[in-house]
Structure 1
Amino acid sequence: MTEPTILHAVFTAKPGAADRVAALLREFAEIVRAEEGNVVFDATRLVDDPDRFFVYEVYRDEAAFQEHLAASAGVPFNAALQELIVEPASILTFLRRV
């Protein structure tokens, strides 16, 4: 059995951009959740710091994750997100189940 690809992404909205980031994430989440290899795509905001976002993603396996990366919807999403966040890109952390 192959291992799922699990990761989380964190990023901070620029001042005044948090609601636009949230809307962008809601739209993108619907697209990602429809991908055949996606298991989980949960986009959340920190309660104590609503400009900070935490996205938890699980893909069936590495091949499904690579398909996600190659999907055409990711390019405009990432370009728009990059304009709205403090960091140069989402900070990704890959995880492994215990």
Structure 2
Amino acid sequence: MTSDRVVLYAEFTAVPGSADAVEALVLGYAQVVRSEPGNVVFDVYRRVEAPERFFVFEVYRDRAAFDDHLGGEAGRAFNATLTPMIVEPQSALSFLTPSAGS
């Protein structure tokens, strides 16, 4: 990956009894994000040992593509629906940078 890519993961926990609904919501949103011109990867995972915990790995072409993603109406609608379905006040984002030699 080139150094100008934006790489991150988001983590969140479904409120009890809503994990399958959260998964359906996130998978639907994944289809939208994957169609964005600057998106490279948007992969959704559930933890094996805690299936109510979600991990979403994301890669964007560059900062402008990521900013376009953040500013999109689809993201605002997704987050408005997701927020009451998760334990945290919002998804916890962790930004990554490639190690030397990657």
Q: Does 1:30 align with 2:31?
A: yes
The unaligned stretches of length 5 or more in structure 2 are none
When normalised by structure 2's length, the TM-score is 0.93
Partner of 1:84: 85
Q: Which amino acid aligns with 1:75?
A: R
| Aligned pairs (5 A) from 1:1-98 | 3-98=4-99
Q: How far apart are the structure 2 equivalents of 1:3 and 1:94?
A: 13
Q: Which amino acid aligns with 1:84?
A: M
CA deviation digits over 1:39-96, x for unaligned, max 9? 0000110011000000000000000000000111001100111010000000000001
Q: Which amino acid aligns with 2:85?
A: L
State, as a whole percentage, how many aligned pairs show the same letter: 54
8 Å contact kept, 2:3–2:98: no
When normalised by structure 1's length, the TM-score is 0.97
Q: How far apart are the structure 2 equivalents of 1:97 and 1:88?
A: 29
Number of residue-to-residue matches in the alignment: 98
8 Å contact kept, 2:3–2:97: no
